[in-house]
Structure 1
């Protein structure tokens, strides 16, 4: 094994090119990954937006509050299988390729969504109804478990070294697009249909829209090119398990990367997924109005995330992330206080617009930051595990956790307690990550050079 090379700061800042020919534009591949990514997260989010309706139809209980808790718990149950999906599909991305994993992921998501679209209600078949929903949600969670790792690795490896932050940020930008579509469809159906129509068939139409568009994303992903960087690593590496490599050589970075993601995950799911339910139940807003806040958040995230990703290429990922986390921690309580004190549509839109800016500032640099700390040979697995274990612990059950906090503390500002706690955890992980050494002696020389270039971009 070659001895790791040491580089000066100037060398770190200079992009390292492994090809003599100038790189071609990666926009075709970025768009292909982004479209599928948006479809996957649309299917994931639309369930959260119809949690109240689904709770009544599939999880009937003696009181409405219990029914809602069961419904948001079923939203969280999909996150239980996300780590398993991260292991299976993440390793598959490192063995068979990013393209193969992305194609499998969207196919599984379509299957889970189809099960929800045709599922009979509790009144029709009894206990089997919620079982079908839970199985479908677990299948969707398994699919999403592999999506982030493969899609981010695919985007990063098609991008120029100097613009990885910008191109990887489209992963989060398209999640914003998914939010706009999911919340927009929910708002439109709630405004144009009666409550009885929404309960009877409107909610199925919302899922059906994602299912109908799914084949487009599947076709596009089947006709994209594998990354050249992955092809080189496949030819050079020894036969070994990507999962084992991550746990033996990269476990510290995996834990720290997950810790960095904790606050962004909590903040994201509290304000983007739970907020419509919060607006209806806690602020007594109509359903059609409650979804408009999520539309604003998604739109701002979609537009601003690439701007912040580009900024992270210039200033460094850690610097941008630290500023964003501090702002989230300091503004979380005031935002919920303002909402609960002045529960109007104008207030909701203003608050959620600011939330979109903060989310973009935090989420924009994260894909490239996490991708930079893993070598190509285990990037899909490392990214998938870092993201999805954290998403399971701090995101999937966020709606359930904040619902319990509101009941326990008897205050509508209780969701901010959860966000502030996770922000402290992320700041601590970010501090430790900044102190990690640049070199990783266990990696092959070529991966080492790429890793050092990424670390230079992280630290700025």
Structure 2
């Protein structure tokens, strides 16, 4: 690809590409965040125990189920995304995610249809997880491949910003619903409303994606590369070390994300007795800090590089701050909970600004969808979707409410090692991503 190919893309088309890619990511994380926020309510509706009390452990187990299907989805969507193109593959993914999320909001409760209710809930979440397996890798590739040469990190940062924006919007909706509705109304039907909203959002996203052309880099790479080897086989053989680095880098970020947006809400409400309205407000403030800082760090990374200090700084900060953050959280007051959310956002945001683009730039264009999707799905499935279940089980097994802090510090240490071995990609021209030279495994920068 010549650099002129990307340079000649009109600014209006770039903006449409950002919106088209981001809206699918928004739907994906909006649903996952909502499930975490309303975990206690979902437990009441779908997982009552024999004593009439909801099973939070069963609810978190159902939360984890789609992450088993996610890697399978990444294999399927990654293959077709690298063979046929990003646009069509991403259009199918957004239909699956929005449709499954809508079904969750429309499902009858356990009181209405008995055991069928939790079974159908699990099926819907498996469908959502399978479709989500093709979203992050493809949407990130879409953003980076439409980006100007000197703004690749900023464009890629919208992937991470959208995740937190989805959490922010979900927190706003949760705050409003818990404020204007009684607890009985919220638990009976109010929690369903935001889930139902995802279907019209999915239709809008489908329309926007189908209106755009394929990315310039993908079209040029398809013309230059005549190989017929399956993208997955190629990336597994030639880029397995890069995939391991990406997985290691993602461990901390995905643990943090699901900890603050899936585990903390239920823990604060059920274990510490915090009112839902205060919990949602504290989360809203913390996530707002993350949304604001992520693109700001990305703009700076476009000037000085991805790896130093951004990819390394966040996991090191989290190793140091995990225990203080949890000590604040366990105080159970509105002020200390807000402080915990904000402190975690300050520590994690330098990495989130650069993460998506750094991951994308590891892989050549012709295998980028497959490489990113598989690595991301494996990391999120193991260290993301199972985080609430792992943390709940740790507390029960150890009897210590501080055990999640030590778990977070441990994952951050792994990511710090991975970040230190991660090659600098900020000075690598996008043009080289489509050349044969880039088919060799990347070598970490000294």
TM over 0.5: yes
- Rounded Cα–Cα distance in structure 2 between residues aligned with 1:422 and 1:63: 37
Residues 178, 298 of structure 1: 8 Å contact kept: no
Gaps of 5+ in 1: 1-14
* Structure 1 residue corresponding to 2:322, chosen from 311, 332, 335: 332
- Rounded Cα–Cα distance in structure 1 between residues aligned with 2:433 and 2:381: 35
2:128 is the alignment partner of 1:119: no
SS of the residue 2:65 aligns to:
helix
* Structure 2 residue corresponding to 1:60, chosen from 48, 55, 62: 48
2:174 alignment counterpart: 186
2:117 alignment counterpart: 129
Residues 296-445 of structure 1 aligned to structure 2 (within 5 Å): 296-319=285-308, 320-340=310-330, 342-434=331-423
Which is further off, 116-125 or 327-336? 116-125
Residues 366, 434 of structure 2: 8 Å contact kept: no
The alpha carbon displacement at 1:18 in A equals 5.5
The alpha carbon displacement at 1:379 in A equals 0.2
- Rounded Cα–Cα distance in structure 2 between residues aligned with 1:232 and 1:128: 50
Residues 29-428 of structure 1 aligned to structure 2 (within 5 Å): 29-62=17-50, 67-237=55-225, 238-319=227-308, 320-340=310-330, 342-428=331-417
Q: Provide Cα deviations, 1:11-65, integer angstroms capped at 9, x if missing partner.
A: xxxx983649655432221122112321222122211111111112111114688
Which is further off, 328-337 or 293-302? 293-302
The alpha carbon displacement at 1:173 in A equals 0.7
Flag the 1:17–1:435 CA change in 2: closer, same or farther, 3 A.
Answer: closer
- Rounded Cα–Cα distance in structure 2 between residues aligned with 1:83 and 1:327: 30
The alpha carbon displacement at 1:249 in A equals 0.9
Residues 162, 313 of structure 1: 8 Å contact kept: yes
Residues 421, 445 of structure 2: 8 Å contact kept: no
Flag the 1:346–1:73 CA change in 2: closer, same or farther, 3 A.
Answer: same
Gaps of 5+ in 2: none
The alpha carbon displacement at 1:354 in A equals 2.2
The alpha carbon displacement at 1:451 in A equals 8.1
Flag the 1:455–1:358 CA change in 2: closer, same or farther, 3 A.
Answer: farther
Residues 84, 142 of structure 1: 8 Å contact kept: yes
The TM-score with structure 2 as length reference comes to 0.92
- Rounded Cα–Cα distance in structure 2 between residues aligned with 1:64 and 1:34: 41
- Rounded Cα–Cα distance in structure 1 between residues aligned with 2:435 and 2:290: 32
SS of the residue 1:225 aligns to:
coil
Residues 42, 182 of structure 1: 8 Å contact kept: yes
Q: Provide Cα deviations, 1:270-291, integer angstroms capped at 9, x if missing partner.
A: 1122221121123210011111
Residues 245, 378 of structure 1: 8 Å contact kept: yes
- Rounded Cα–Cα distance in structure 1 between residues aligned with 2:173 and 2:433: 50
Flag the 1:178–1:207 CA change in 2: closer, same or farther, 3 A.
Answer: same
Structural RMSD (CA): 2.6
The alpha carbon displacement at 1:411 in A equals 2.5
Flag the 1:280–1:119 CA change in 2: closer, same or farther, 3 A.
Answer: same
